[in-house]
Structure 1
Amino acid sequence: MTQQTAESPAKEAGRTPSLWRSRNFLLLWGGQTVAELGTRIANVAVPLLAADVLDATVFQISLLTFLTWLPYLLFSLPAGIVADRVDQRRLMIACDLGRAALMLSLPVAALVGQLTLAFLYAVVGLAGVLTVLFTVAYKSLLPRLVPAAHLMDGNAKLGISQDAAELVGPTIGGVLTGLVGAARVFLGNGFAFLVSALTLVLIRQPPDDTPQPPRVPLRVEMTDGLGFIRRQPILVNILACTTWSNFFVMASGSIEVTFMVRELHASPVQVGLVFSVSAVGGLVVGVLAARLSAWIGSARVIWVAMAAPGPFYLLMPLAQPGWGVLLYGVGLAAFSANAVLFNVAAMSYRQRITPPAILGRVNAAFLWICFGVIPLGALTGGTLGTTLGLRGALWVCVLGTWAACLFVVCSPLRRMRDLPAVSS
């Protein structure tokens, strides 16, 4: 029978080998670091390609963000069933190869004169579907490669890779866009996905000895994850907080490049520099995540991470042309620190308490809700930018982002120091 104990995950981790000795984790970490770098480069290149090469409007550019995240709303629950039924590593390899092909099609289309906004929409949307499948499998595979005691450390290291990529990727993307053009930048992104696929091939996955539950009707299987979450009050609060935050973060994200280019008159290099500055907060916090969690408390750190950085978000709509554009980067750095610390603690808790047999469906249910609102947030950002102006829209978005902390501040987490560890 499963019992909850109060033993700290940090003490439990001290009795198991370091992740630096785990070949499988190091391969996964290395491949994802390269893929994250390629993705961050492309994140700058996509809106610049639409704005500068295809002369898209503010709303048309926000549609790119909408199409990137719409697959989470449409395909997350089915993806959870797929991830629980098939070999997760092979599914991730197939997704990487598919995304590489899609990214490489953009410079080819530009070369033959067939690159249009509709083609870019199609590539972004299809890549989004593959990313959903990859992400659900990825979050479900990690606990099979990493001991439960090291999940916090593993998630933190992967978070460091994301922020290190955010630190240098946008600047590289901005520089490359200025040197070779936005379309050719996607050659690097395609190569990054190929490297990720290769590292996954090299992983020696341990045999899965998890007993397979009997098949149930598809409708029941698709709602298993949601049912589990409903029975976990802490997960409900975390899910509500993440969902609210994602909505407003993506609303601002869908117009931020347009804001910097058209309101602040930033060059592609300056846009990349802003995103690089923003990654510093997440990178520093990622390195210190385990220590901060142990010092503050693994439960307390969830609401502290959401509430404390909020005042810095207000610097984003206060940014001005010239060096004042860096204020936007400082605001993003505060959010990056929040996101890393919050996500590492929240995801590690979810992975620890969820039975392995339904982890894919629980992860998928989380993604369906908290990522499913992202395309709606992107459309909201484009609409607000059109009606209120870009700066006015940003004020609405940053205040909405900060308000997300209320879901975890006004919850049982505020009266807890540590989350309960789970043992058999």
Structure 2
Amino acid sequence: MPTWGLLRKPDFRAFWTADLLSQFGTRVAFLGVPLLATTTLNATATQVALLRALESSAYLVLGLQAGAWCDRLQARPVLILADLGRAVLIASVPVCAVFGVLTLWQLFAVVLLTGLLTVFFDVAHQTYLPRLVDRGELLEGNAKLQTNMSVAAIAAPTASGFLVQLLGAPAALGATALGYLSSAGWLSRIRAREARPVVEKRKLRREIGEGLRAVFRHPVLRALALSGASISAFQSVHIASSVVFLIREIGLDAGAVGLLGTLGLTGALAGAVSARRLASALGHARALWLMTLLLGLAYLFYPLTGPGWGLVCWSVAGFGTAFGVIVVNVLQLTYQQLTCPDDLLGRVNATMRFLSLGMVPVGSAGAAVLAPLIGLRATLWTAAVGVLASATWLFFSPLRTRRN
């Protein structure tokens, strides 16, 4: 297949561009919010962890309902409205900072409300791709969208860190708001007509139950869901502790934290480029559980980090974990889209994300408790061992005995 592939199609190109802008904005905020809280609002490690918990708590509240609603609706309008809403919310932070009225409580509220809109955006985003491209193009489409995540993961941390250092933390969130606004503009340029889903009027609880049963009665989807939930919980322990660890124990400034993240996350780009080749060489099933195991092994390098040359451990861990996450995401999402019937896809996607991202506030809250009790480095060790143990769900599933 030519390198450009789906990008030759104007509608997919607009969707891909919107995704790139949205991913970049999200990644800038991912580092910008804890840096803003730590350096400008003097937040404690516990408060930074609570920010992470609020950011994803929306999945516990609305995750399953969003899947049922997205199966009833056209996906593109949901994506546009979610982008516009997030742009307004995030833009309120630099505006209030200019007038000197920004508080930590406002940041908590913005993160929570943005998270609610992100639930709908994420579920609709995964549901929209099979409506936009042919089923035989899903693996390529997912790989190209994950490449966006990789590029954003590489470029955004450095951009965010230096924006914070040169212009102040609120400026980084201004870039996030601009990314969401631009994403909405590109989505509005898609010309393909999206059929309105034909659904029976049934109780929401029944539709949610169908999505849950579709996941837990399927041996592979069940293993993927439980592994994803376990990984997500321990990843969140790591994420909630990492910025504070690098600034307060290793002694890095905001720019160095961003640059270090970029050096490690080059693995994300390598993973996006390699996902289809790995699936072809190893087999889809075998690549999926092997990459999950690699992800856990790479996490063990994070707590070995120290000043000076000890930072190499953080970069090695960043490369390995980013590579593993991207490959696993491409293969898992493609499997979901090929396995599930169209009228269930939104609910299955929402169930998988509910189980995975619903564990983020649990892990973040765990970091808020663990960090003051056992220290930041020991908290990172706990996260690393937990991610590695999560691979057992796939190792003892039907995936281990299959090639594809």
Task: Specify if TM > 0.5.
Answer: yes
The equivalent position to 1:217 in structure 2, one of 203, 216, 234, is 203
- 2:178 match: secondary structure: helix
- 1:317 match: secondary structure: helix
Shift of 1:325: 2.5
- 2:364 match: secondary structure: helix
Q: 1:332 aligns to what?
A: 318
What is the CA–CA distance in structure 1 between the aligned matches of 2:349 and 2:47, rounded to whole Å? 31
Shift of 1:43: 1.4
1:116 aligned partner, one-letter code: T
Quickly say closer, same or farther: Cα 1:82–1:292, change in 2 above 3 A: same
2:337 counterpart of 1:351: yes
What is the CA–CA distance in structure 1 between the aligned matches of 2:259 and 2:134, rounded to whole Å? 37
Q: 2:83 aligns to what?
A: 96
The equivalent position to 2:222 in structure 1, one of 223, 230, 236, is 236
In the alignment, structure 1 segments of 5+ residues that lack a partner are 1-13, 419-424
* TM-score (structure 1 length as normaliser): 0.92
1:198 aligned partner, one-letter code: G
Shift of 1:394: 0.5
Q: 1:422 aligns to what?
A: none
Q: 2:299 aligns to what?
A: 313
Shift of 1:323: 4.0
Q: 1:255 aligns to what?
A: 241
Shift of 1:209: 6.9
Instruction: Kindly indicate whether the alpha-carbon contact (under 8 Å) linking 1:244 and 1:401 is maintained by their aligned counterparts in 2.
Output: yes
In the alignment, structure 2 segments of 5+ residues that lack a partner are none
Number of equivalences: 403
Q: 1:110 aligns to what?
A: 97
Shift of 1:129: 0.3
The equivalent position to 1:123 in structure 2, one of 92, 105, 110, is 110
The equivalent position to 1:246 in structure 2, one of 228, 232, 235, is 232
What is the CA–CA distance in structure 2 between the aligned matches of 1:165 and 1:112, rounded to whole Å? 30
2:290 aligned partner, one-letter code: V
Shift of 1:309: 4.3
What is the CA–CA distance in structure 1 between the aligned matches of 2:212 and 2:33, rounded to whole Å? 34
What is the CA–CA distance in structure 1 between the aligned matches of 2:297 and 2:278, rounded to whole Å? 20
What is the CA–CA distance in structure 1 between the aligned matches of 2:293 and 2:207, rounded to whole Å? 36
Q: 1:4 aligns to what?
A: none
2:165 counterpart of 1:178: yes
What is the CA–CA distance in structure 2 between the aligned matches of 1:358 and 1:334, rounded to whole Å? 33
Q: 1:66 aligns to what?
A: 53
Q: Over aligned residues, Cα RMSD in angstroms? A: 1.5
2:47 aligned partner, one-letter code: Q
The percentage of counterpart residues that share the same residue type is 36
Q: 1:40 aligns to what?
A: 27
Instruction: Kindly indicate whether the alpha-carbon contact (under 8 Å) linking 1:260 and 1:325 is maintained by their aligned counterparts in 2.
Output: no
Q: Over residues 304-344 of structure 1, what are the superposed CA-to-partner deviations in whole Å (9 max), with x where a residue is unaligned? A: 10113433322210111234224213212211111111111
1:203 aligned partner, one-letter code: I
Q: 1:8 aligns to what?
A: none
Shift of 1:207: 3.8
The equivalent position to 1:155 in structure 2, one of 137, 142, 153, is 142
Shift of 1:85: 1.7
- 1:417 match: secondary structure: coil
Shift of 1:69: 0.5
Instruction: Kindly indicate whether the alpha-carbon contact (under 8 Å) linking 1:274 and 1:326 is maintained by their aligned counterparts in 2.
Output: no
Instruction: Kindly indicate whether the alpha-carbon contact (under 8 Å) linking 1:91 and 1:134 is maintained by their aligned counterparts in 2.
Output: yes
* TM-score (structure 2 length as normaliser): 0.97
Instruction: Kindly indicate whether the alpha-carbon contact (under 8 Å) linking 2:131 and 2:194 is maintained by their aligned counterparts in 1.
Output: no
The equivalent position to 1:168 in structure 2, one of 134, 143, 155, is 155
Shift of 1:278: 2.1
- 1:184 match: secondary structure: helix
